[in-house]
Amino acid sequence: MKTITTTELLEKVDANEDLFLVDVREDEEVANGIIPGAIHIPLGSLPERIDELDKTKPYIFICHAGGRSGSACSYLSGLGYDVTNMEGGMLAWEGELEF
């Protein structure tokens, strides 16, 4: 599984790279802040919302600590998606947040 550190992702965000971020945390967690530009698809909703993802785009998955996003990456990579897990999750994120 491909991974990215929060520092590496922050550098990409700061460089205004075109990123496709997916936050798989629950609604209550996202209410405490989400990385700007990320879309929110709770992990449990992923199978029914998979049509919102484009197989031609590389996605970076985010959760609280890295476990759920890792599960999402395992699931989607098996379906042919280009996915990367953000190591450490939001616990390690030191960048801006949207509320």
Q: Catalytic amino acids?
A: 63
* CA–CA gap between residue 10 and residue 16 (Å, rounded): 10
* CA–CA gap between residue 47 and residue 54 (Å, rounded): 14
Nearest C-alpha neighbor of 23 from the set 12, 14, 33, 13? 33
